[in-house]
Structure 1
């Protein structure tokens, strides 16, 4: 005999989960869109950072085999309409990390910002290291 079990939905649990997700998103700031592509032997990372003051609020670093881009976005706008002030404030920190091959050094990394896009080029990231064959020895019995 088949039995059917009905579960009651808990509207408070659903609301609690919704509020938790909303605050978790706010706490983490924003996550800029990123694109990683290959240009010959170079890796090119592009991050969308419109409205960010890259000279003041963005750092690009090599940290233990990772390319790390972090910063903060601050944007505040105010507009007068019908004798009232409409103010919009957007802010949040971000942190993106990309694994790099062991042979990449800081001299291989360049970064430039243009029209809201940060482009980081890692020269030689795809250069293959030469393969070295290891001889296998056997022990005589």
Structure 2
């Protein structure tokens, strides 16, 4: 058995290095900026939106807002070493914005946010309240709910489609 650690290799890394050397760092096609990973979970009647924000100063650089039926989290992951250009840099920095639709009955008072271990959790209390599926019973049998079709004139006449 080998002691070699296997790491995932970017298939375009060599090409990106070639382009960077020829045209400078702005010529690469890698996406810029930082987009935090998010998940929306159900916890009873509540919805919990979780965003991965490691290294972000949530007190100064993150805003959680409710407006127009949308929950919006915006902020910035700042690069303290922006001046240093040496070494390998795979961590993304920059401004971000994530937005999530809310049910009509949710108000801003039903929303709270906490931050722990690099994860921002936004709880939407009662987001799923009254949203349970209703089961419709199905009756078995040949005559149960049978429909007899008889040709009649339609109750509503369809108007011909207008030509544009």
Query: Is TM-score (shorter-chain normalized) higher than 0.5?
Result: yes
SS at match of 1:104: coil
* Paired residue total: 104
Structure 1: 5+ residue runs without aligned partners? 1-14, 79-84, 131-141
Given candidates 86, 90, 93, the residue that maps to 2:95 is 93
Taking only aligned residues, the RMSD between alpha carbons, in angstroms, comes to 2.9
1:52 is displaced (CA, Å) by: 0.2
Asked if the contact 1:57–1:72 (Cα under 8 Å) also holds between the matched residues in 2, the reply is yes
TM-score by length of 2: 0.56
What aligned pairs does 1:40-59 form with structure 2 within 5 A after superposition?
40-59=44-63
Whole-angstrom distance in 2 between the partners of 1:44 and 1:38: 6
Whole-angstrom distance in 2 between the partners of 1:104 and 1:21: 41
Asked if the contact 2:70–2:102 (Cα under 8 Å) also holds between the matched residues in 1, the reply is yes
SS at match of 1:107: helix
Which one has the largest radius of gyration? 2
1:91 is displaced (CA, Å) by: 2.5
If asked which structure has higher relative contact order (CA below 8 Å, sep 6+), I would say 1
Between Structure 1 and Structure 2, the one with more helix by share is 1
Whole-angstrom distance in 1 between the partners of 2:43 and 2:93: 33
After superposing on structure 2, the runs of 4+ consecutive aligned residues of structure 1 that deviate more than 3 Å are 85-90
TM-score by length of 1: 0.65
Structure 2: 5+ residue runs without aligned partners? 1-18, 20-26, 133-164
